[in-house]
Amino acid sequence: MLLSIITDFMKEFRTIVERKEDQSSSGDRMGFIFHHLFDASIKNIDPFDPALDMDIRTILYAFSGPIRAMSVFQVLVKQLITRLKEPSLKCYHLVPDDFILILEELLEKTPAFHRYPTLRARFHSTVVNFLNAAMVPTIKLVSDIVAIQACYINTKHPDFIGGPNATAIVRARMNTPQQHPAPHGSESVLDGQEKPTAKAPDPFPDGTVDVEITKFMMQSYYSILKRDLIDMVPKAIWLNFVEHAAQNLERAPVNELYNEGEMEELFGESQPDGGK
């Protein structure tokens, strides 16, 4: 009898999870979490908070001698990546919450769990414990996806615009001329181009161009990061949590409840004035 109850429950549970096209199903709710809530939370992060310009100038001043744009850019973009971890983990935590809702809805609609309240309570706690255990490797995987973005900044990505290309675009936007090389061949702080001669003074001597070049590259790379995370985080959650639960959840109540050897207690029927 116990095995039949568990099997029927899990069959309906898997059906709900896999029925993406039904708006009342978990598949649709998880789709909303992934493609609306998470998507918006990542896209709405503004990499350019009011203090960013000052941060860029501070880092520029902290370096002595010539330095390429990539060096300043990499310092700042790694700081930006750390801000992506929180919304990524929030996205994940919404999925187990959704699974708990499915569990409680099915328990409520299954007559056997109304008839046997002890079985219902044990079944609920067993499933919740299984889901909690599945959270640990999933949290690690999601965290690692963000961490790998920070440990290696791929400035060779085909969609990234940096170096001379970024410099040319920014200078064109600001209507500043490309500078001519100085005889001694020293490089500018950011764009890797040689410093202007006295005949071609920088129209933005306060370093505004260098700041804007850095911000342009950050925006370019952040666009890549957003696209990658919006794609990879849901996939990681689906692999480590959703698929894992769909394939293995049934074993938890079977192993836990059968091993207890307390069938009489589990199938004690509810009394009119009894508990749940």
- Domains annotated for the chain, with CATH where assigned, are 2-264 (1.20.120.1240)
State the average pLDDT over residues 110-124: 90
CA atoms within 13 A on the CB side of 101: 14
- pLDDT band (50, 70, 90) for residue 45: confident
Q: How far is CA 224 from the centre of its chain?
A: 14
Listed ranges 6-20, 52-66, 178-192, 227-241; the one with the highest mean pLDDT: 227-241
Q: How far is CA 133 from CA 48, 196, 235, in A?
A: 38, 61, 19
Mean per-residue pLDDT, 133-143: 94
By the 8 A CB rule, do 68 and 190 touch?
A: yes
pLDDT (average), residues 21-39: 71
Rounded Cα–Cα distance for residues 155 and 58 (Å): 23
Q: Is residue 188 predicted with pLDDT exceeding 60?
A: no
Closest of 38, 23, 30 to residue 243, by C-alpha: 30
Instruction: Pick 201 or 234 by higher pLDDT.
Output: 234
Backbone angles phi, psi at 240, to 5 degrees: -85, -20
Query: What is the distance between the alpha carbons of residues 258 and 28, in angstroms, rounded to a whole number?
Result: 34
- Distinct helix (H) and strand (E) counts, the chain: 13, 0
For residue 30, is pLDDT > 50?
yes
Of the two residues 26 and 245, the one the predictor is more confident about is 245
Residue 36 has pLDDT above 70, yes or no: yes
pLDDT at position 143 over 90: yes
| Amino acid 190: pLDDT | 46
Buried/exposed code over 93-114 (b: 16+ C-beta within 10 A; e: otherwise): ebbbebbeebbeebbeebebbe
Q: How much is the average pLDDT of 70-89? A: 87
